[in-house]
A and B are shown apart, each in its own frame.
Chain A
Protein backbone atom coordinates (compact mmCIF):
# COMPACT_ATOMS: atom_id res chain seq x y z
CA UNK A 1 0.00 0.00 0.00
CA UNK A 2 1.64 3.22 -1.07
CA UNK A 3 0.84 6.69 0.19
CA UNK A 4 -1.22 7.50 -2.86
CA UNK A 5 -2.82 4.29 -4.07
CA UNK A 6 -6.24 3.34 -2.70
CA UNK A 7 -7.09 -0.04 -1.28
CA UNK A 8 -9.94 -0.71 -3.69
CA UNK A 9 -10.60 0.18 -7.31
CA UNK A 10 -14.25 0.05 -8.32
CA UNK A 11 -14.36 -0.54 -12.06
CA UNK A 12 -17.50 0.34 -13.97
CA UNK A 13 -18.04 0.14 -17.72
CA UNK A 14 -20.80 2.36 -19.04
CA UNK A 15 -22.72 2.76 -22.27
CA UNK A 16 -25.78 5.00 -22.63
CA UNK A 17 -27.12 4.32 -19.13
CA UNK A 18 -26.44 7.23 -16.76
CA UNK A 19 -29.44 6.27 -14.61
CA UNK A 20 -27.90 2.86 -14.16
CA UNK A 21 -24.63 4.52 -13.10
CA UNK A 22 -26.51 6.57 -10.52
CA UNK A 23 -28.04 3.40 -9.04
CA UNK A 24 -24.69 1.62 -9.01
CA UNK A 25 -22.85 4.57 -7.44
CA UNK A 26 -25.40 4.72 -4.64
CA UNK A 27 -24.69 1.09 -3.87
CA UNK A 28 -20.94 1.81 -3.81
CA UNK A 29 -21.49 4.71 -1.42
CA UNK A 30 -23.43 2.42 0.94
CA UNK A 31 -20.59 -0.10 1.30
CA UNK A 32 -19.51 -0.81 4.88
CA UNK A 33 -15.94 -1.27 3.65
CA UNK A 34 -14.19 1.70 5.26
CA UNK A 35 -10.86 1.67 3.42
CA UNK A 36 -9.81 4.03 0.70
CA UNK A 37 -11.31 3.51 -2.75
CA UNK A 38 -11.32 4.94 -6.23
CA UNK A 39 -14.19 4.68 -8.69
CA UNK A 40 -13.30 4.55 -12.35
CA UNK A 41 -15.95 4.66 -15.06
CA UNK A 42 -15.10 3.99 -18.66
CA UNK A 43 -17.65 5.43 -21.03
CA UNK A 44 -17.67 3.29 -24.13
CA UNK A 45 -18.62 5.94 -26.68
CA UNK A 46 -22.08 6.88 -25.38
CA UNK A 47 -24.13 9.50 -27.20
CA UNK A 48 -23.31 13.13 -26.30
CA UNK A 49 -26.51 13.58 -24.28
CA UNK A 50 -25.78 10.44 -22.29
CA UNK A 51 -22.22 11.59 -21.65
CA UNK A 52 -23.54 14.90 -20.43
CA UNK A 53 -25.95 13.10 -18.09
CA UNK A 54 -23.13 10.83 -16.93
CA UNK A 55 -21.05 13.87 -15.94
CA UNK A 56 -24.02 15.25 -14.04
CA UNK A 57 -24.48 11.98 -12.16
CA UNK A 58 -20.81 11.58 -11.29
CA UNK A 59 -20.53 15.21 -10.14
CA UNK A 60 -23.33 14.61 -7.67
CA UNK A 61 -21.97 11.27 -6.43
CA UNK A 62 -20.81 10.96 -2.82
CA UNK A 63 -17.46 9.52 -3.91
CA UNK A 64 -15.11 11.19 -6.34
CA UNK A 65 -15.35 9.45 -9.70
CA UNK A 66 -12.78 9.33 -12.44
CA UNK A 67 -14.43 9.16 -15.85
CA UNK A 68 -12.49 7.96 -18.88
CA UNK A 69 -14.21 8.81 -22.14
CA UNK A 70 -13.85 6.42 -25.06
CA UNK A 71 -13.90 8.05 -28.47
CA UNK A 72 -16.08 5.34 -30.01
CA UNK A 73 -18.19 2.38 -28.97
CA UNK A 74 -15.73 -0.51 -28.93
CA UNK A 75 -17.65 -3.01 -26.83
CA UNK A 76 -17.59 -4.43 -23.34
CA UNK A 77 -14.28 -6.34 -23.50
CA UNK A 78 -12.39 -3.26 -24.63
CA UNK A 79 -14.03 -1.24 -21.83
CA UNK A 80 -13.00 -3.86 -19.30
CA UNK A 81 -9.41 -3.82 -20.54
CA UNK A 82 -9.17 -0.03 -20.24
CA UNK A 83 -10.52 -0.24 -16.69
CA UNK A 84 -8.13 -3.02 -15.70
CA UNK A 85 -5.23 -0.96 -16.97
CA UNK A 86 -6.46 2.13 -15.13
CA UNK A 87 -6.94 0.49 -11.72
CA UNK A 88 -4.41 1.60 -9.11
CA UNK A 89 -5.93 -0.12 -6.07
CA UNK A 90 -4.48 -3.17 -4.36
CA UNK A 91 -7.85 -4.84 -5.00
CA UNK A 92 -10.42 -4.44 -7.71
CA UNK A 93 -14.12 -5.09 -7.89
CA UNK A 94 -16.36 -4.73 -10.91
CA UNK A 95 -19.80 -3.25 -11.14
CA UNK A 96 -21.61 -2.91 -14.44
CA UNK A 97 -23.71 0.23 -14.69
CA UNK A 98 -27.23 -0.59 -13.57
CA UNK A 99 -26.35 -3.36 -11.13
CA UNK A 100 -26.02 -2.99 -7.38
CA UNK A 101 -23.88 -4.21 -4.53
CA UNK A 102 -25.43 -4.81 -1.14
CA UNK A 103 -23.69 -2.88 1.65
CA UNK A 104 -21.46 -5.62 3.05
CA UNK A 105 -20.19 -6.99 -0.25
CA UNK A 106 -16.71 -5.60 -0.51
CA UNK A 107 -15.98 -5.75 3.24
CA UNK A 108 -16.89 -9.43 3.45
CA UNK A 109 -15.01 -10.26 0.29
CA UNK A 110 -11.85 -8.56 1.52
CA UNK A 111 -12.17 -10.54 4.75
CA UNK A 112 -12.34 -13.70 2.66
CA UNK A 113 -9.11 -12.75 0.88
CA UNK A 114 -7.43 -12.38 4.26
CA UNK A 115 -8.78 -15.71 5.47
CA UNK A 116 -7.23 -17.29 2.40
CA UNK A 117 -3.93 -15.59 3.15
CA UNK A 118 -4.09 -16.75 6.75
CA UNK A 119 -4.53 -20.31 5.50
CA UNK A 120 -1.52 -19.66 3.26
CA UNK A 121 -3.31 -20.44 -0.01
CA UNK A 122 -0.66 -20.32 -2.65
CA UNK A 123 -3.08 -19.99 -5.58
CA UNK A 124 -4.52 -16.78 -6.97
CA UNK A 125 -7.98 -16.24 -5.53
CA UNK A 126 -11.09 -14.44 -6.69
CA UNK A 127 -13.85 -14.10 -4.13
CA UNK A 128 -17.26 -14.45 -5.73
CA UNK A 129 -20.59 -14.38 -3.88
CA UNK A 130 -24.18 -15.49 -4.08
CA UNK A 131 -26.35 -12.90 -5.75
CA UNK A 132 -29.89 -11.90 -6.56
CA UNK A 133 -31.12 -12.07 -10.10
CA UNK A 134 -33.95 -9.67 -10.78
CA UNK A 135 -35.77 -9.49 -14.06
CA UNK A 136 -37.28 -6.12 -14.90
CA UNK A 137 -40.48 -5.76 -12.88
CA UNK A 138 -39.89 -9.07 -11.10
CA UNK A 139 -38.83 -10.08 -7.61
CA UNK A 140 -35.19 -10.87 -6.80
CA UNK A 141 -34.33 -14.57 -7.04
CA UNK A 142 -31.40 -15.80 -5.05
CA UNK A 143 -28.68 -17.53 -7.07
CA UNK A 144 -25.96 -19.60 -5.50
CA UNK A 145 -22.43 -19.87 -6.77
CA UNK A 146 -21.02 -23.42 -6.80
CA UNK A 147 -17.32 -23.29 -5.93
CA UNK A 148 -16.99 -26.92 -4.80
CA UNK A 149 -15.71 -29.55 -7.21
CA UNK A 150 -14.20 -28.88 -10.60
CA UNK A 151 -14.55 -25.14 -11.10
CA UNK A 152 -13.94 -25.34 -14.86
CA UNK A 153 -16.91 -27.67 -15.21
CA UNK A 154 -18.99 -25.48 -12.92
CA UNK A 155 -18.24 -22.51 -15.15
CA UNK A 156 -19.13 -24.36 -18.33
CA UNK A 157 -22.45 -25.61 -16.94
CA UNK A 158 -23.19 -22.26 -15.31
CA UNK A 159 -23.52 -23.43 -11.69
CA UNK A 160 -20.62 -21.05 -11.10
CA UNK A 161 -21.89 -18.08 -13.06
CA UNK A 162 -19.26 -16.04 -14.87
CA UNK A 163 -20.44 -12.67 -13.64
CA UNK A 164 -17.54 -10.36 -13.07
CA UNK A 165 -19.51 -8.02 -10.79
CA UNK A 166 -19.87 -10.82 -8.22
CA UNK A 167 -16.09 -10.97 -7.85
CA UNK A 168 -13.47 -9.18 -5.79
CA UNK A 169 -9.76 -9.91 -5.90
CA UNK A 170 -6.28 -8.47 -5.65
CA UNK A 171 -5.88 -6.48 -8.85
CA UNK A 172 -2.85 -8.53 -9.80
CA UNK A 173 -5.02 -11.67 -9.75
CA UNK A 174 -7.17 -10.16 -12.49
CA UNK A 175 -4.18 -8.92 -14.46
CA UNK A 176 -2.50 -12.33 -14.41
CA UNK A 177 -5.26 -13.58 -16.72
CA UNK A 178 -4.32 -11.07 -19.44
CA UNK A 179 -6.82 -9.02 -21.39
CA UNK A 180 -10.48 -9.66 -22.12
CA UNK A 181 -10.91 -11.17 -25.55
CA UNK A 182 -11.94 -8.45 -28.00
CA UNK A 183 -13.49 -11.08 -30.28
CA UNK A 184 -16.17 -11.73 -27.68
CA UNK A 185 -18.77 -8.97 -27.65
CA UNK A 186 -20.79 -11.27 -25.35
CA UNK A 187 -19.64 -13.82 -22.79
CA UNK A 188 -16.21 -12.27 -22.52
CA UNK A 189 -16.45 -12.84 -18.78
CA UNK A 190 -16.93 -16.58 -19.19
CA UNK A 191 -13.77 -16.77 -21.29
CA UNK A 192 -11.90 -14.65 -18.74
CA UNK A 193 -13.08 -16.84 -15.85
CA UNK A 194 -12.09 -20.04 -17.66
CA UNK A 195 -8.63 -18.64 -18.38
CA UNK A 196 -8.26 -17.67 -14.72
CA UNK A 197 -8.89 -21.23 -13.56
CA UNK A 198 -6.78 -22.68 -16.37
CA UNK A 199 -3.90 -20.56 -15.06
CA UNK A 200 -4.26 -22.03 -11.58
CA UNK A 201 -6.69 -19.56 -10.08
CA UNK A 202 -9.56 -20.54 -7.82
CA UNK A 203 -12.86 -19.09 -6.71
CA UNK A 204 -13.97 -18.91 -3.13
CA UNK A 205 -17.00 -17.61 -1.28
CA UNK A 206 -17.07 -15.08 1.55
CA UNK A 207 -18.19 -16.07 5.02
CA UNK A 208 -21.88 -15.71 4.21
CA UNK A 209 -24.41 -17.46 2.01
CA UNK A 210 -26.50 -14.33 1.74
CA UNK A 211 -26.57 -12.66 -1.67
CA UNK A 212 -24.20 -9.70 -1.79
CA UNK A 213 -25.28 -8.06 -5.04
CA UNK A 214 -28.17 -7.88 -7.44
CA UNK A 215 -28.17 -8.23 -11.20
CA UNK A 216 -30.98 -6.31 -12.86
CA UNK A 217 -31.55 -8.62 -15.74
CA UNK A 218 -32.87 -7.70 -19.14
CA UNK A 219 -32.45 -9.31 -22.55
CA UNK A 220 -33.66 -6.24 -24.41
CA UNK A 221 -31.39 -5.41 -27.33
CA UNK A 222 -29.39 -8.63 -26.99
CA UNK A 223 -28.64 -10.47 -30.16
CA UNK A 224 -29.27 -14.22 -30.13
CA UNK A 225 -27.04 -14.86 -33.14
CA UNK A 226 -24.23 -12.98 -31.48
CA UNK A 227 -24.44 -14.90 -28.23
CA UNK A 228 -24.54 -18.17 -30.14
CA UNK A 229 -21.37 -17.25 -32.04
CA UNK A 230 -19.69 -16.32 -28.77
CA UNK A 231 -20.60 -19.63 -27.17
CA UNK A 232 -19.24 -21.53 -30.18
CA UNK A 233 -16.05 -19.46 -30.10
CA UNK A 234 -15.52 -20.13 -26.38
CA UNK A 235 -16.16 -23.87 -26.68
CA UNK A 236 -13.61 -23.98 -29.50
CA UNK A 237 -11.10 -21.85 -27.63
CA UNK A 238 -11.39 -24.01 -24.53
CA UNK A 239 -11.67 -27.28 -26.43
CA UNK A 240 -9.44 -29.17 -23.95
CA UNK A 241 -11.91 -28.34 -21.18
CA UNK A 242 -14.83 -29.61 -23.23
CA UNK A 243 -12.88 -32.68 -24.33
CA UNK A 244 -12.57 -33.84 -20.74
CA UNK A 245 -16.28 -34.47 -20.66
CA UNK A 246 -18.60 -37.04 -22.19
CA UNK A 247 -20.36 -36.63 -25.50
CA UNK A 248 -23.63 -36.29 -23.63
CA UNK A 249 -22.24 -33.44 -21.58
CA UNK A 250 -21.12 -31.64 -24.74
CA UNK A 251 -24.52 -32.18 -26.38
CA UNK A 252 -26.21 -30.71 -23.31
CA UNK A 253 -23.96 -27.66 -23.54
CA UNK A 254 -24.82 -27.33 -27.20
CA UNK A 255 -28.52 -27.44 -26.34
CA UNK A 256 -28.00 -24.85 -23.62
CA UNK A 257 -26.32 -22.60 -26.16
CA UNK A 258 -29.29 -22.75 -28.56
CA UNK A 259 -31.83 -22.29 -25.76
CA UNK A 260 -29.93 -19.25 -24.54
CA UNK A 261 -29.97 -17.73 -28.01
CA UNK A 262 -33.69 -18.57 -28.33
CA UNK A 263 -34.45 -16.79 -25.07
CA UNK A 264 -32.67 -13.66 -26.28
CA UNK A 265 -34.56 -13.57 -29.56
CA UNK A 266 -37.88 -14.37 -27.86
CA UNK A 267 -37.42 -11.55 -25.35
CA UNK A 268 -36.74 -9.22 -28.26
CA UNK A 269 -39.90 -10.26 -30.09
CA UNK A 270 -38.33 -12.19 -32.97
CA UNK A 271 -40.50 -15.31 -33.16
CA UNK A 272 -39.04 -16.59 -36.39
CA UNK A 273 -35.50 -16.65 -35.09
CA UNK A 274 -36.65 -18.08 -31.78
CA UNK A 275 -38.27 -20.98 -33.61
CA UNK A 276 -35.12 -21.47 -35.66
CA UNK A 277 -32.91 -21.67 -32.57
CA UNK A 278 -35.30 -24.08 -30.89
CA UNK A 279 -35.26 -26.26 -33.97
CA UNK A 280 -31.48 -26.30 -34.01
CA UNK A 281 -31.44 -27.17 -30.32
CA UNK A 282 -33.89 -30.01 -30.88
CA UNK A 283 -31.79 -31.33 -33.75
CA UNK A 284 -28.58 -31.20 -31.75
CA UNK A 285 -30.00 -32.95 -28.69
CA UNK A 286 -33.55 -34.25 -29.23
CA UNK A 287 -33.91 -36.06 -25.90
CA UNK A 288 -32.40 -33.23 -23.90
CA UNK A 289 -34.64 -30.75 -25.72
CA UNK A 290 -37.79 -32.77 -24.99
CA UNK A 291 -36.83 -33.15 -21.34
CA UNK A 292 -36.15 -29.48 -20.99
CA UNK A 293 -39.36 -28.35 -22.64
CA UNK A 294 -41.33 -30.77 -20.46
CA UNK A 295 -39.55 -29.63 -17.31
CA UNK A 296 -39.98 -25.92 -18.00
CA UNK A 297 -43.41 -26.32 -19.60
CA UNK A 298 -42.08 -24.56 -22.67
CA UNK A 299 -40.83 -21.47 -20.85
CA UNK A 300 -37.40 -20.45 -22.09
Chain B
Protein backbone atom coordinates (compact mmCIF):
# COMPACT_ATOMS: atom_id res chain seq x y z
CA UNK B 1 0.00 0.00 0.00
CA UNK B 2 1.45 3.36 -1.05
CA UNK B 3 0.26 6.74 0.09
CA UNK B 4 1.90 9.66 -1.66
CA UNK B 5 1.35 13.14 -0.31
CA UNK B 6 1.68 15.53 -3.24
CA UNK B 7 2.22 19.16 -2.38
CA UNK B 8 1.97 22.30 -4.46
CA UNK B 9 -1.30 21.44 -6.16
CA UNK B 10 -2.54 24.99 -5.85
CA UNK B 11 -0.02 26.13 -8.41
CA UNK B 12 -1.59 23.80 -10.87
CA UNK B 13 -5.11 25.07 -10.41
CA UNK B 14 -5.00 28.78 -9.85
CA UNK B 15 -5.89 31.27 -11.13
CA UNK B 16 -8.28 28.94 -12.94
CA UNK B 17 -9.40 25.42 -12.28
CA UNK B 18 -9.39 22.21 -14.18
CA UNK B 19 -12.12 19.62 -14.23
CA UNK B 20 -12.00 16.82 -11.71
CA UNK B 21 -12.05 14.17 -14.42
CA UNK B 22 -9.05 15.76 -16.13
CA UNK B 23 -7.13 15.75 -12.88
CA UNK B 24 -7.86 12.11 -12.14
CA UNK B 25 -7.02 11.08 -15.69
CA UNK B 26 -3.88 13.20 -15.58
CA UNK B 27 -2.68 11.33 -12.54
CA UNK B 28 -3.21 7.89 -14.03
CA UNK B 29 0.03 5.98 -13.95
CA UNK B 30 1.00 4.80 -17.40
CA UNK B 31 -0.20 1.27 -17.97
CA UNK B 32 -2.42 1.21 -14.88
CA UNK B 33 -5.97 0.00 -15.31
CA UNK B 34 -7.33 2.77 -13.15
CA UNK B 35 -6.13 6.10 -11.77
CA UNK B 36 -4.85 6.20 -8.20
CA UNK B 37 -7.40 6.86 -5.51
CA UNK B 38 -7.57 10.47 -4.37
CA UNK B 39 -9.48 10.55 -1.10
CA UNK B 40 -11.20 13.71 -0.03
CA UNK B 41 -11.75 14.76 3.56
CA UNK B 42 -15.43 13.95 4.21
CA UNK B 43 -16.04 17.22 5.98
CA UNK B 44 -14.85 19.27 3.03
CA UNK B 45 -17.43 20.99 0.91
CA UNK B 46 -17.44 19.81 -2.66
CA UNK B 47 -18.33 21.38 -5.97
CA UNK B 48 -19.07 18.54 -8.33
CA UNK B 49 -16.55 18.54 -11.14
CA UNK B 50 -14.30 21.11 -9.55
CA UNK B 51 -11.07 19.27 -8.97
CA UNK B 52 -9.71 21.76 -6.47
CA UNK B 53 -12.66 21.49 -4.14
CA UNK B 54 -13.21 17.82 -4.81
CA UNK B 55 -9.73 16.61 -4.13
CA UNK B 56 -7.38 19.17 -2.69
CA UNK B 57 -7.15 19.05 1.07
CA UNK B 58 -6.25 22.16 3.04
CA UNK B 59 -4.70 20.76 6.16
CA UNK B 60 -5.49 22.93 9.14
CA UNK B 61 -4.46 22.25 12.70
CA UNK B 62 -6.20 19.27 14.25
CA UNK B 63 -7.76 18.17 10.99
CA UNK B 64 -4.35 16.91 9.94
CA UNK B 65 -4.50 14.08 12.45
CA UNK B 66 -8.13 13.34 11.64
CA UNK B 67 -7.45 13.24 7.91
CA UNK B 68 -4.44 11.00 8.43
CA UNK B 69 -6.60 8.48 10.30
CA UNK B 70 -9.27 8.70 7.63
CA UNK B 71 -6.73 8.04 4.90
CA UNK B 72 -5.38 4.98 6.62
CA UNK B 73 -8.82 3.61 7.42
CA UNK B 74 -10.04 3.96 3.86
CA UNK B 75 -6.83 2.91 2.14
CA UNK B 76 -7.08 -0.14 -0.03
CA UNK B 77 -4.34 -2.72 0.45
CA UNK B 78 -4.10 -3.02 -3.33
CA UNK B 79 -4.37 0.55 -4.52
CA UNK B 80 -2.04 3.51 -4.53
CA UNK B 81 -3.43 6.63 -2.92
CA UNK B 82 -2.54 10.21 -3.65
CA UNK B 83 -3.16 12.93 -1.12
CA UNK B 84 -3.20 16.30 -2.79
CA UNK B 85 -2.27 19.35 -0.77
CA UNK B 86 -2.33 22.92 -2.01
CA UNK B 87 0.87 24.21 -0.50
CA UNK B 88 4.42 23.41 -1.30
CA UNK B 89 7.01 23.78 1.42
CA UNK B 90 9.61 24.42 -1.23
CA UNK B 91 8.04 27.68 -2.30
CA UNK B 92 8.21 29.03 1.18
CA UNK B 93 4.56 29.96 0.97
CA UNK B 94 2.02 29.79 3.75
CA UNK B 95 4.46 28.49 6.34
CA UNK B 96 1.75 27.13 8.64
CA UNK B 97 0.14 25.08 5.92
CA UNK B 98 3.47 23.87 4.66
CA UNK B 99 4.26 22.68 8.15
CA UNK B 100 0.88 20.95 8.18
CA UNK B 101 1.80 19.16 4.97
CA UNK B 102 4.93 17.82 6.58
CA UNK B 103 3.00 16.96 9.70
CA UNK B 104 0.42 15.03 7.71
CA UNK B 105 3.13 12.91 6.18
CA UNK B 106 4.73 12.41 9.60
CA UNK B 107 1.42 11.40 11.21
CA UNK B 108 0.71 9.01 8.37
CA UNK B 109 4.10 7.43 8.77
CA UNK B 110 3.59 7.16 12.52
CA UNK B 111 0.12 5.63 12.32
CA UNK B 112 0.59 3.50 9.24
CA UNK B 113 0.72 -0.22 9.84
CA UNK B 114 3.70 -2.06 8.45
CA UNK B 115 3.46 -2.49 4.72
CA UNK B 116 2.16 1.03 4.16
CA UNK B 117 4.65 3.28 2.45
CA UNK B 118 4.20 7.01 2.88
CA UNK B 119 6.08 9.60 0.86
CA UNK B 120 5.99 13.38 0.57
CA UNK B 121 6.55 14.79 -2.89
CA UNK B 122 6.26 18.20 -4.45
CA UNK B 123 3.88 18.14 -7.38
CA UNK B 124 6.07 18.14 -10.42
CA UNK B 125 8.59 15.64 -9.24
CA UNK B 126 6.58 12.61 -8.43
CA UNK B 127 7.50 10.04 -10.97
CA UNK B 128 4.89 8.88 -13.40
CA UNK B 129 2.12 11.01 -11.94
CA UNK B 130 4.22 14.06 -12.69
CA UNK B 131 4.81 12.82 -16.19
CA UNK B 132 1.11 12.65 -16.71
CA UNK B 133 0.60 16.12 -15.34
CA UNK B 134 3.38 17.46 -17.50
CA UNK B 135 1.81 15.75 -20.45
CA UNK B 136 -1.43 17.53 -19.68
CA UNK B 137 0.48 20.78 -19.57
CA UNK B 138 2.13 20.05 -22.89
CA UNK B 139 -1.13 19.10 -24.46
CA UNK B 140 -2.63 22.31 -23.26
CA UNK B 141 0.40 24.25 -24.33
CA UNK B 142 0.34 22.73 -27.79
CA UNK B 143 -2.17 24.99 -29.51
CA UNK B 144 -0.30 27.99 -28.22
CA UNK B 145 2.82 27.17 -30.19
CA UNK B 146 0.89 27.08 -33.42
CA UNK B 147 -0.20 30.65 -32.88
CA UNK B 148 3.33 31.96 -32.83
CA UNK B 149 5.83 31.89 -35.63
CA UNK B 150 8.41 30.86 -34.82
CA UNK B 151 7.15 28.71 -31.92
CA UNK B 152 7.99 30.40 -28.66
CA UNK B 153 11.27 29.21 -27.34
CA UNK B 154 11.14 29.45 -23.56
CA UNK B 155 14.09 31.77 -23.65
CA UNK B 156 13.35 33.48 -26.93
CA UNK B 157 11.81 36.89 -27.65
CA UNK B 158 8.28 35.53 -28.04
CA UNK B 159 8.10 34.27 -24.56
CA UNK B 160 6.56 37.14 -22.60
CA UNK B 161 3.44 37.05 -24.77
CA UNK B 162 3.43 33.27 -24.64
CA UNK B 163 3.59 33.53 -20.90
CA UNK B 164 0.59 35.80 -20.78
CA UNK B 165 -1.27 33.47 -23.06
CA UNK B 166 -0.25 30.66 -20.84
CA UNK B 167 -1.78 32.32 -17.80
CA UNK B 168 -4.88 33.18 -19.72
CA UNK B 169 -5.37 29.58 -20.66
CA UNK B 170 -5.02 28.25 -17.12
CA UNK B 171 -1.66 26.70 -17.62
CA UNK B 172 -0.23 28.06 -14.46
CA UNK B 173 2.23 25.30 -14.04
CA UNK B 174 3.88 25.95 -17.34
CA UNK B 175 3.57 29.67 -16.83
CA UNK B 176 5.32 29.44 -13.51
CA UNK B 177 7.89 27.19 -14.98
CA UNK B 178 8.64 29.37 -17.94
CA UNK B 179 8.44 32.41 -15.74
CA UNK B 180 11.17 30.98 -13.62
CA UNK B 181 13.37 30.61 -16.64
CA UNK B 182 12.75 34.23 -17.58
CA UNK B 183 13.28 35.47 -14.10
CA UNK B 184 16.64 33.82 -13.92
CA UNK B 185 17.65 35.73 -17.00
CA UNK B 186 16.60 39.01 -15.52
CA UNK B 187 13.62 39.33 -17.83
CA UNK B 188 10.85 38.94 -15.36
CA UNK B 189 10.04 42.29 -13.85
CA UNK B 190 6.31 41.93 -14.36
CA UNK B 191 5.94 38.27 -13.63
CA UNK B 192 2.99 37.16 -11.60
CA UNK B 193 3.31 35.75 -8.17
CA UNK B 194 3.45 32.00 -8.74
CA UNK B 195 6.19 32.36 -11.30
CA UNK B 196 8.17 34.66 -9.06
CA UNK B 197 7.90 32.24 -6.18
CA UNK B 198 9.00 29.40 -8.39
CA UNK B 199 11.91 31.39 -9.65
CA UNK B 200 12.94 32.34 -6.15
CA UNK B 201 12.81 28.72 -5.19
CA UNK B 202 14.96 27.79 -8.15
CA UNK B 203 17.51 30.37 -7.14
CA UNK B 204 17.52 29.26 -3.55
CA UNK B 205 18.02 25.71 -4.74
CA UNK B 206 21.11 26.83 -6.62
CA UNK B 207 19.57 25.89 -9.95
CA UNK B 208 21.50 27.39 -12.84
CA UNK B 209 19.61 27.97 -16.03
CA UNK B 210 21.60 29.47 -18.85
CA UNK B 211 20.15 31.23 -21.91
CA UNK B 212 21.26 28.56 -24.32
CA UNK B 213 19.19 25.84 -22.67
CA UNK B 214 15.99 24.75 -24.30
CA UNK B 215 12.81 23.81 -22.49
CA UNK B 216 13.57 20.09 -22.32
CA UNK B 217 17.01 20.82 -20.92
CA UNK B 218 15.48 23.01 -18.24
CA UNK B 219 13.04 20.27 -17.34
CA UNK B 220 15.91 17.88 -16.97
CA UNK B 221 17.98 20.27 -14.82
CA UNK B 222 15.09 20.96 -12.51
CA UNK B 223 14.24 17.30 -12.23
CA UNK B 224 17.81 16.61 -11.18
CA UNK B 225 17.81 19.25 -8.47
CA UNK B 226 14.41 18.76 -6.87
CA UNK B 227 14.72 15.17 -5.70
CA UNK B 228 17.88 16.13 -3.84
CA UNK B 229 15.98 18.77 -1.94
CA UNK B 230 13.54 16.21 -0.71
CA UNK B 231 15.87 13.28 -0.24
Contact residues of A with B, CB < 8 Å? Answer: 1-4, 7, 33-36, 90-91, 107, 110-112, 114-115, 117-119, 207
| Cβ of B78 to closest chain A Cβ, rounded Å | 9
The digit string for B64-103, where 1 denotes a CB below 8 A from any CB of A, is 0010011011111101000000000000000000000000
Contact residues of B with A, CB < 8 Å? Answer: 37, 41-43, 63, 66, 69-70, 72-77, 79, 111, 113-115
Residues of chain A within 8 A (CB-CB) of B114 are 3
Q: Is the CB of B73 within 8 A of A35?
A: yes
Residues of chain B within 8 A (CB-CB) of A1 are 69, 72-73, 111, 113
Residues of chain A within 8 A (CB-CB) of B72 are 1
Residues of chain B within 8 A (CB-CB) of A117 are 66
Known contacts A3-B113, A34-B79, A111-B42, A118 near B74 by CB under 8 Å = no
Nearest B residue to A35 via CB reads B74
| Cβ of A285 to closest chain B Cβ, rounded Å | 45
Q: Is the CB of A114 within 8 A of B111?
A: no
Q: Is the CB of B66 within 8 A of A118?
A: yes
Q: Which 5 residue pairs of A and B lie closest in terms of their CB atoms, listed nearest first?
A: A111-B42, A34-B76, A3-B113, A118-B43, A114-B42
- Taken together as a complex, chains A and B put the C-alpha atoms of A1 and B75 apart, in Å, by 12
Known contacts A34-B79, A111-B42, A118-B66, A7 near B113 by CB under 8 Å = no
Q: Is the CB of B43 within 8 A of A34?
A: no
| Cβ of A5 to closest chain B Cβ, rounded Å | 9
Residues of chain A within 8 A (CB-CB) of B76 are 34-35
Known contacts A35-B75, A90-B73, A114 near B113 by CB under 8 Å = no
Known contacts A2-B113, A3-B114, A117-B66, A110 near B73 by CB under 8 Å = yes
Nearest B residue to A1 via CB reads B72
Q: Is the CB of B42 within 8 A of A112?
A: yes
Chain A CB within 10 Å, residue with most, of B70, B77, B111? B70
